[in-house]
Structure 1
Amino acid sequence: MDWPAVAAAAAAGLPVTAPIAITLANRVIACSSGARAAGVRRGLRRREAAARCPQLHVATADADRDARFFEPVIAAVDDLVPRAEVLRPGLLVLPVRGAARYFGSEEQAAERLIDAVAAAGAECQAGIADQLSTSVFAARAGRIVPPGGDARFLSALSIRQLATEPSLSGPGREELTDLLWRMGIRTIGQFAALSRTDVASRFGADGVTAHRFARGEPERGPSGREPPPELEAVLDCDPPIERVDAAAFAGRSLAGELHQALMAAGVGCTRLAIHAVTANGEELQRVWRGAEPLTEDATADRVRWQLDGWLSNRTGRNPRPTAAVTLLRLQAVEVVSAGALQLPLWGGLGEEDRLRARRALVRVQGLLGPEAVRVPVLAGGRGPAERITLIPLGDEPVPHADPGPPWPGQLPQPSPAVLLDDPVELLDAKGDSIRVTGRGMFSADPSRLTMRGRDERLRWWAGPWPVDERWWDDRPGGQGGSRTARAQVLLEDERAFLVCYRQRRWYLEGSYE
């Protein structure tokens, strides 16, 4: 769970013993052992974490960085036991039966794997169990679960542990664990004791999956086999690819081609093989595994992470390829039927149009750069423009502020449909300009709105809603506090607008439709 902090330390040139925290939406999502010793925990706000540990190095979440620095570790493990599968950066699984026979025992195989990872410059813990999911939790404890002992090992764990590993669960697992906790089910063993019929009727498909895991029932394990040739997408790179950004764009188009084939076959991919060939004949391959069928975006993300890891690797043990990439291949190693996919309610109407539009946007990105196409993400803020974060298409949708916590002074619903930023004049009945006083009140009742050279009479108005942010900060250069106020106005022709008072001027901030 600490791997994002380990990767951030390597990127910053810090020792892994340094206190490091990784934040997403202003909250800590991972931290190092040094940070935990100082009182930093996951879920803390960034400011509170820094207050607990003044020496804390804070880095934002970056999946590309995590995958890039994890590639040498994967290569070290792959040299010892081939065909390891990546669940996420920082966590990989492999079949232990063959390795145990080769090295003499499961304990010796685990020791050799730990030594191989240490030689690659990282520390790790290994766990062995009958089932893949149980082995992940065994690795956190550094234990080898005896054969047939999965259910007993899991029974003492908190029920909230079911939602702590996103690579093993689908969306909604946190809601399931919260509900079970409120029902008085505190451990995985108590959940396993429930009837399968009762679980299926009350909690649905994800509840049944979690119940099977709690009982230690058989599940699909790491294959350790050569990927089959069916359902693949191949791209001959002309010209050959040397840069990570060019490889990422090629990988995204290849992901779209693969998912077109998967949709035509009525299946979804849960195990993906990424294969690259260089101009010097070097062959690189890695298998990624998902708890849920991979979407097109998830496939493209894994291709980008893997190519970034290969092309940016500069370690002496596993150096980067000596030539440009001339061929890329994606293979669906394991698929599930369409019945296992969560399709839209009405059968995916318009899906083809959505994919065609996305391919066009990706092409624009390829021509003009990744920043040329951006998509909005809901963020935290008080004004309508502040609640939108524009993210380059394909990047992780991380808002600049968490939209979850309350925002005192936030604009009440409904929000304007169109955002504007035009200077206007708000006038009273005498034609004098209206201002907002220090008490947050209008200096007079609004009567007219002058915009774009036209004088419009008001039929109704509401407000003002003052916002006084960072009033204690008087630093120059736009870093200090700001005092604004917003109001809603309705014209006689039934048009409604949102106006904002800032820096002693009125601005048209949005229109309602």
Structure 2
Amino acid sequence: MLVLWCPDWPVVAASAAAGLPAHLPAAVFAANRVVACSAVARAAGVTRDMRRREAQSRCPEIAVLAEDPDRDARLFEPVAAAVEELVVGVEVVRPGLVAVPVSGAAGYFGGELRLVELLVDHVSGVAGVECQIGIADGLFAATLAAHRSSLVDPGCSAEFLAPLSVTELDQPGSERAELVDLLRRLGLRTLGAFAALPEKDVVSRFGSVGLLAHRLARGQDERPPHRRRPPPELSAGRSFDPPLERVDAAAFMAKTLAGRFHDGLASRGLACTRLGIYATTEHGEQLSRVWRCAEPLTPEGIADRVRWQFEGWLRAGEGVRPTAGVTRIRLEPEETVEGRSLQLGLWRGGAEPAPGQGGEHTPEAERAGRALVHVQGLLGPDSVFTAVTEGGRGPAERVRLVPWGDQRAPSPGHEASWPERLPGPSPATVFEEPVPAVVAGAEGEEVGITGRYQVTGVPRQVAIDGGPARRVVEWAGPWPVLGRWWAGDGAGTCARMQVVLEGEGPERPGGALLLRWQGNESPLWTVEGVYD
């Protein structure tokens, strides 16, 4: 790991923002304590965590600067960008400190020493700041090596860290000051002495914070680095003179632009799943629409969406249609996936592929998907839905409708064991609005549910939505659901029962119903679903 460190960066950034020359003593204060100070101020006796009054007494001419993490990060961006120009995979640890993998870059530039020389010269020349570089195994060891401008041989990080003070564990943002103070009071004054302790003893005495610090003292990483990759330019645009005012001209243009846009993504192994279409008219009007796609877009799919969008813009009614033709269009990949992660839709054109064999998009599947997207373009994104299985107790709760093109992933915990869940099989039809019903006994007396969730009589008849009563052949239940028990209003409390009705000729065949009893509502019984 290579770490590039800009010493006293909060002071450097604050001085640059305030226009102060570098030779003047300066310090950044937070809550009247020194957060960082310049080398000139340190030479006068100013140290970190010193109170403001004491710092000014030791160095009366010191410039007092306010802490501003946003300013530090903003001014450090050119430094990170300068490092990215030579090495790929930059991780900004904090403003003033970046880490990069060293192996590939060192081989490309002819060795670690040559890489260090190039980085120091390049950052100083492009960003205009001083920096120090260290190389070691692991981020922590490489950071301390950068403080000393050292290149540690592979496998020697623990040996390099051993003689260093245990106070090095208290890096900015680490919040290990209490641990370091405790280690010092216990007589563990070097990283080597702390690293020599058995790990199980460290965990039992210092907990998880001590365990992470113990890993660092032994030259290991607290976590794997998170690489920062320079974002590629993925959008594609085109200007028009004269402006586009006809849908057929837009359709012809869309084919060329879509092919260029798709090729740019494919060259980087990417595919687009959310397409942003942005246009500017001759009168300066800004038009935009984002299309979410059920699967990574092909060039034909991109061209279709551009054409459909122009139909919506150019053929809209008065007051909605733009007042002039389109002079500029830009396609933006709002969301991308790796090109190999194709998500198949509803139609595969045949049997499901065997596990591990994948599947191919068929012309039938693509035509069906394009037709559904066209419907969304005409009627809105909420006009086409597919169903996703969810967790829940009732049948209506176990299905969620997802707009076509949105991610069809179930919510976390959908496979958990839901207490009081309705036993299978689930009803084939679930009503959006429950249908009122009356459950009665053999003599017509109404059947209800007691406070102990027992039926008050044997169900023999069911009348649905004011219709004639039908005889009950079999029944099962009731199954209580004690929802919202903490509210005290009984709104979430109900019971469910299944009944099988006798058929009455071809016009009224028999069937099975899922009934729901809600004691504090009217009607007491409703038909929640129907079984096939």
- With normalisation by structure 2, the TM-score equals 0.42
- With normalisation by structure 1, the TM-score equals 0.43
Which protein is bigger by CA-based radius of gyration?
2
User: Which is helix-richer, 1 or 2?
Assistant: 1
- Report 1 or 2 for greater relative contact order, CA contacts < 8 Å, sequence distance ≥ 6: 1
